[in-house]
Amino acid sequence: MTEPSAARPIGVFDSGIGGLSVLQALRHELPHEDFVYFADSGNAPYGDAKGEVFVQQRTLAIARWLRSRHDIKALVVACNTATAAAVEQLRADLPDLPAIGVEPALKPAAACSQTHHVGVLATRGTVDSMRFQRLLQAHSAHTHFAVQACDGLARAIEQSTEEPLPATESAERIRALCAHYAGALGRFGHKTNEMDTLVLGCTHYVFAKDELRALVGPDVQILDTGAAVARQTRRILAQDGELADVQVEVPGGIRLYTTGQLVALQSAAERWLQLPAESCEALNNA
User: What are 50-85's pLDDT values in tens digits?
Assistant: 788 999 999 999 999 999 999 999 999 999 999 999
Q: Which domain holds residue 191?
A: 106-224
Cβ-contact 66, 94 below 8 angstroms:
no
The DSSP annotation for 221-250 comes to EEE-SHHHHHHHHHHHHHHTT----TT--S
Q: How far is CA 151 from the centre of its chain?
A: 16
Do 231 and 95 share a structural domain? Answer: yes
Out of 150, 178, 202, 280, the active site residue is 202
Q: What is the pLDDT along the chain (286 residues), one digit of tens a residue?
A: 345 688 899 999 999 999 999 999 999 999 999 999 999 999 988 877 678 899 999 999 999 999 999 999 999 999 999 999 999 999 999 999 999 999 999 999 999 999 999 999 999 999 999 999 999 999 999 999 999 999 999 999 988 887 665 678 889 999 999 999 999 999 999 999 999 999 999 999 999 999 999 999 999 999 999 999 999 999 999 999 999 877 766 778 999 999 999 999 999 999 999 999 999 999 987 6
Closest to 81 (Cα-Cα) out of 134, 30, 120, 127: 127
Do 256 and 188 share a structural domain? Answer: no
Residue 85: helix, strand or coil by DSSP? helix
User: What is the Cα–Cα distance from 184 to 169, expressed in whole angstroms?
Assistant: 23
Do 214 and 116 share a structural domain? Answer: yes
Do 12 and 89 share a structural domain? Answer: yes
79 is a catalytic site residue: yes
178 is a catalytic site residue: no
Give the pLDDT score at 1.
Answer: 35
User: What is the Cα–Cα distance from 269 to 279, expressed in whole angstroms?
Assistant: 9
Last residue of a domain, one of 174, 204, 224: 224
Q: At 63, which amino acid appears?
A: A
Do 114 and 98 share a structural domain? Answer: no
Do 193 and 113 share a structural domain? Answer: yes
* CATH number for the domain harbouring residue 59: 3.40.50.1860
Do 12 and 56 share a structural domain? Answer: yes
Do 35 and 128 share a structural domain? Answer: no
Instruction: Report the predicted TM-score, pTM, of the whole model to 2 decimal places.
Output: 0.91
DSSP 8-state class, residue 188 = B
Last residue of a domain, one of 176, 195, 224: 224
Give the pLDDT score at 163.
Answer: 62
Out of 79, 150, 178, 280, the active site residue is 79
Q: Which strands make up the sheet holding 254-258, listed edge to edge? A: 99-101, 74-77, 10-14, 35-39, 254-258, 280-282
Q: Which strands make up the sheet holding 144-149, listed edge to edge? A: 144-149, 117-122, 197-201, 221-223
Do 275 and 213 share a structural domain? Answer: no
